[in-house]
Structure 1
Amino acid sequence: MLLEPEELKKSSQIDPQIVEFAQKNPSPPPDWENADAMAANLAAMTAMTLEQIGPPESGITEEEQLIPMRDGFKSTIKVHKPSSPPSSGSPLIVLIFGGGWISGGKDQMTPFARPMVRLFGAVVVNISYRLAPEHKFPKSQEDSWDGVKWIAEHASDLGADPRLGFVVGGVSAGGTCTAVVTTLAVEEKLSPPITGQWLCIPSLMDEQHVPEKYKKYFLSPKHNADAPVLNAVAMAALKKHTDWDNNSPLRYPILSKAPLGDLPPTYFQADGMDPIRDDALIYDEMLKEAGVSTRIDFYPGCPHGHFMFMPGMKISNKATGDLFVGVGWLLGKEISGEEGLKAMAPST
C-alpha cells in the first residue's frame, strides 16, 4: 500500500480522538530506557485486562503446557479451544505477544484468542518467548520459531487440523516475530505449512535495507520521531536492550532468503503516527508485487498500538473489529467488524 509522501506526512497528524483520549486519561510517557519498569507496567495492564474479562465460559477450555526449546529450556504455551469441537474440525491459530522484546507475555493475547475460538471454532495457542535484556537477540525470535515448530508437529494432539487453516499472527514485536517465523517456515519447508500471517504494526526493515525503488516511501522514522508511545528514543532504547543485529533476517525479515512469492496470504495493520508505519505499507506492496494475496487496514493519526493502549475509542474499536475480519479472511471465513467486537464478550 504505497502512499505519496504528502499523504504519509498527513497520516502522522494526530487524530482528534487520540487527543481527547489523552486529555481524559493523562499518563506519563512510557520509559523505554527502563526495561524493568516497562515489563512491570505491561504485566499490570495485562493482569487488569484478564481480571476485567474474567474466566472463559464453559464453551472454551484453556490450559497451559510446557514445551521444549532448542537449548532445553521449557517454554509455556496457553491453549484456548472449543470445549466441544466443531464437527468440521478446528483450524489452528498461533498468537505472539508484543512489548518490544523486553516486556509482555502469553496472557496478553488471551483477549483476542477467546473471540477467535468463538468466531472460528479454532484452537488458538499463545506462545511465550524469553525477554531482553536478560536474553539478548535473537532469543525471542528463536523461541518463537521453536514454539511454532512444536505446535505444528503436535497440532492434532492440541485438537487442531491445520489443513483447515494454520495462521500465525502477532502485535508489534509479536508481529515482527510472526514475519520472521513465516519466512523461516518457507525456508525450512515447515509441515504442515503456515497458510496465513497477521502482521499488526510490525518492524520489518530499516533504512539501510529498504529496496531502492521504495526509499522515497520510507519516511515514518522521520515523520514520527517524536510520536507518543513509540518514537526514535524508544527504538534506540530497544536496540540497546536487545542488542539486535541490523543485518540479520531474524531482526529484519526483509533480509530473508525466502522467495516473497512463496509467503502465505498476509493481513497487515498499520498506524499512521508510528515510526515503523512504512515497514508494513512497503512490505505489503512487495508481497503484492510478488503475487501474494494481501489485505491491509491503515489508521491515520494513530500512534503505535493505539487499540491496545487506548481502548474504547471509535477508532480503537474499528481496529479491534478489523483484526478479527482480517484473521477470518486468512481462514476463508467472512465476518463483519461488528461480529468481531461482539465476540470479545461471551454470549449470554
Structure 2
Amino acid sequence: MLLSKKELEEAAVLHPDIADYLEKNPRPASAVMDHLTMRKMMTVMETSYNKWTGPPFTGIETYHEIPMRDEFKSSLKIQKPESGPSGPLIGLCFGGGFVGGTNEQFEKTGRVLVNLFGATVVSISYRVAPEFKFPIGQLDTWDSMKWIAENATGSLLNADPKQGFIMGGISAGGALTAAFSRAFQDEPLAYPLTGQWLAIPSVMNDHSVPEKYKEFYLSTTQQAKNATFSQETRKWLNSLVEADFTSPLRYAINAKTPLEGQPKTYFQVDGADPLRDDALIYDEMLKEAGVETKVDLYSGCPHGHFSSFPGLEITDRANIDTIVGFGWLLGKDVSREKVATQLGL
C-alpha cells in the first residue's frame, strides 16, 4: 500500500485524541530505561488491557511446557473451546522489542477468537534480551510453531488446521511472524500456514529496504523523536538484542524465498510510527507477488496505540479491527457490533 509523500506526511501528524491524551498524561521525552523497568511497565499494561468486561468466557485456558532445541522448557498458553468440534488453529507471538512481553499479552484477544470462531489459540513464549540475545528468541519461536503444527490435532490442542492455520503478532511478534512465514516455505511445518497477522511489524531497515521503495521509506526519519517509540529507544533495544540485521530471521525482507508462496496477510499499521513504512512497503511487495492482503492504517497513531491509549475511539476501532481481520483471514464474516460486545466495548 504505497502512499504519496504528502499522504505519508499527513499520516504522521499526531491524531488529536492522542495529542490530548498525551497532554493530560505526559510521558518522558525518551522512553529509554532499564529492561526490568520496561518489563514491569509492560506487565501493568497487559493486565489493564486484558481486563475482561465481555460476556462470560466458556472456553478452557491451560499452560503446557514444551522442549526447545537446547532442552529449555518453554511455556505455551492454550485457549480453546470447552467442547464441540475442532476449529482453526492460531499461534500468537507477543511484542516487546525482543526485550519484554509475555504469553499473557493476548489473553483477551484469544478469548474472543475462541468465542467467535471456535479457534484453538496458542500464545507462545520466547526468551528475550539482554539475558538471551539474538537469535535465541527466534529459534524458540521456530521450535514452538513446529511443535504446535505437529501436535495440532491431538487431544491437548484439538484443532483442525485444515480449517485455517494462522500465525500472528504485534511489533516484535509481527517481525517473528513475517520472518518465519518466509522460513516455513523452505522448511515446511506439518500443516502450512493459511494466513498471517502482521500488526506494526518490523520487517526491514534503512539498509535493506529495496531500492525501488526507498522514496517511500520515510517513517524512521519522520518519527525520530516519536513520543512512544523514539530513535533513541530503538537504538537502546537494538543494543540489548544484538541482532544480525542481515539475517532473514530478523528481517523478513532478507529472505530469499519467493513472496509468491506467502499466505493471505492482514496488516495493522500505525501512521505516527517509525515502523509504518515497513508494513506499507511489505504489503505492496506481497500484493505485487499476487498475495491477497488487507491493510488497516491508523493515521496519527503512535506505535502500539491499541493498548497504550485506553478509552479512545481510535483504540477501540483498532481492537475491533483485529478480530474482524482474523475473521477475514479465516474466511468468516463477523459483525463489528458482535466483536465490540465480546470486547466489552
Per-residue CA distance 1:143-172 (angstroms, 9 max, x = gap): 111111100000112110000000011011
Q: Distance in 2 between matches of 1:14 and 1:250?
A: 32
Aligned to 2:97: 100
Give unmatched runs, 5+ long, in structure 1.
Answer: none
1:10: Cα distance to partner? 1.3
Q: CA deviation at 1:136?
A: 0.3
2:57 and 2:301 map into 1 onto residues whose CA distance is: 37
One-letter amino acid of the counterpart of residue 268, structure 1: F
Structure 2 residue identity aligned to 1:61 = I
- Percentage of identical aligned residues: 47
Following the alignment from structure 1 to structure 2, what is the Cα–Cα distance between the partners of residues 26 and 207? 30
Question: 1:188 maps to what in 2?
Answer: 187
User: Which structure 2 residues correspond to residues 65-104 of structure 1 after superposition, within 5 A?
Assistant: 65-85=64-84, 87=85, 89-104=86-101
Aligned position for 1:43: 43
What is the aligned counterpart of 1:113 among 100, 110, 130? 110
**Who is 1:12 aligned against?**
12
Offset at residue 30 of structure 1 (A): 6.2
TM-score when scaled to structure 1? 0.95
Q: Distance in 2 between matches of 1:47 and 1:298?
A: 26
Cα drift, residue 139 of structure 1 = 1.3
SS at match of 2:203: coil
User: In structure 2, do the counterparts of structure 1 residues 310 and 174 end up closer, same or farther at CA, with 3 Å as the change threshold?
Assistant: same
Q: Which amino acid aligns with 1:38?
A: M
Instruction: Classify the secondary structure of the residue corresponding to 1:93.
Output: strand
- What is the alpha-carbon distance in structure 1 between the residues aligned to residue 248 and residue 88 of structure 2? 28
- Give CA-to-partner distance per residue, 1:113-139, whole Å, 9 cap, x none: 100001100000111000100000111
Q: Offset of 1:55 from its aligned partner?
A: 11
2:30 and 2:230 in contact (8 A); partners too? no
Q: Is the 8 A contact 2:30 2:232 kept in 1?
A: no
SS in 2 for 1:19: helix
Q: Structure 2 CA distance, aligned partners of 1:271 and 1:49?
A: 18
Gaps of 5+ in 2: none
1:150 maps to which of 131, 134, 147: 147
Paired position in structure 2 for 1:243? 242
8 A contact 2:31–2:229 mirrored in 1? no
Alignment of 1:1-348 (within 5 A): 1-28=1-28, 31-50=31-50, 52-53=51-52, 57=56, 59-85=58-84, 87=85, 89-157=86-154, 158-345=157-344
Distance 2:135 2:290 in 1: 30
Rounded to whole Å, the distance in 1 between the matches of 2:276 and 2:238 is 18
AA aligned to 2:308 is F
Aligned-residue offset at 1:49: 4.0
What amino acid is the match of 2:59? I
**CA RMSD, 1 decimal:** 1.7
Counterpart CA distance in 1 for 2:25 and 2:114 is 32
Q: Per-residue displacement from partner, 1:61-101 (whole Å, max 9, x unpaired)?
A: 0000001111110000000001122x4x3100111110101
Report the 3-state secondary structure (helix = DSSP H, G, I; strand = E; otherwise coil) of the residue aligned with 1:207.
Answer: coil
2:91 aligned counterpart, secondary structure: strand
How far apart in 1 are the matches of 2:48 and 2:332? Answer: 31
Q: Provide the rounded CA distance (Å) in 2 between the counterparts of 1:209 and 1:58.
A: 44
d(CA) in 2 for partners of 1:53, 1:28: 30
Give the partner amino acid of 2:74.
Answer: S
TM-score (norm 2): 0.96
Q: Report the number of matched residues.
A: 343
Deviation, structure 1 residue 56 = 9.1
* CA distance in structure 1 between the aligned counterparts of 2:32 and 2:337, rounded to whole angstroms: 35
Looking at structure 2, the residues matched to 30 and 320 of structure 1 have their Cα atoms a distance apart, in angstroms, of 27
Q: Deviations over 1:181-231 (max 9, x none)?
A: 211111112220011000000000011111111110000001111111112
Q: Tell me the CA shift for residue 58 of structure 1.
A: 5.6
- The separation in 1 between residues aligned to 2:215 and 2:177, in whole angstroms, is 26
Q: Is contact 2:219-2:273 (8 Å) kept?
A: yes
Q: Separation in 2 of the partners of 1:112 and 1:198?
A: 13
Report the 3-state secondary structure (helix = DSSP H, G, I; strand = E; otherwise coil) of the residue aligned with 1:250: coil
Cα distance in 2, alignment partners of residues 192 and 143 from structure 1: 19
1:273 CA displacement: 0.5
Deviation digits for residues 19-41 of structure 1 (CA, Å, limit 9, x no counterpart): 12223333446633421110111
- Are 2:54 and 2:342, in contact at CA under 8 Å, matched by a contact in 1? no
Letter in structure 2 aligned against 1:97: F
Rounded to whole Å, the distance in 1 between the matches of 2:239 and 2:8 is: 28
Is this contact kept in 2: 1:231–1:274, CA < 8 A? no
